[in-house]
Amino acid sequence: MKRYLAILVLLAAAPLTASAQGYPDYGRPSYGAGRGDQDQARDAVRGGRQVPLARVIAAIRGSGVPGRQLNTTMGDYGGRPAYFVQWQTPDNRVMIFIVDAETGAIIGRQGG
């Protein structure tokens, strides 16, 4: 009987603990949140409209700049879809590679 009562108490409290509260935005933009960027990119790769991120990272590594990927976002560059890859070099410099999403060609670099 005690076990049954404990289960009832837990089930009654579950809706209270499961209600999610949104995070305050403090006036800052939500980069990519709610836009479905990843889903759109995945669909574009599957449809052959853009290259996969792995190919983009390989192109950056092949460009002769050692380092590692920190972050990647999708955007528009000169009217074309582009990957913006944040890259950290071994000496901790950070640069942004701009890569054409349709061809995989590096079309720009900022910083570093």
For the stretch 18-66, pLDDT in tens is 445 555 555 554 454 555 667 777 888 888 889 999 999 999 999 999 9
pLDDT at 18: 46
Domains annotated on the chain, with CATH: 50-112 (3.10.450.40)
Whether 105 contacts 98, CB under 8 Å = no
Mean residue pLDDT of the chain comes to 79
Residues 6 or more apart whose CB falls under 8 angstroms from that of 95 comprise: 65, 86, 87, 89, 109, 110, 111, 112
Query: Which pLDDT band holds residue 10 (cuts at 50, 70, 90)?
Result: low
How would you write 81-111 as a 3-class SS string? EEEEEEEECCCCCEEEEEEECCCCCEEEEEE
Query: Which pLDDT band holds residue 15 (cuts at 50, 70, 90)?
Result: low
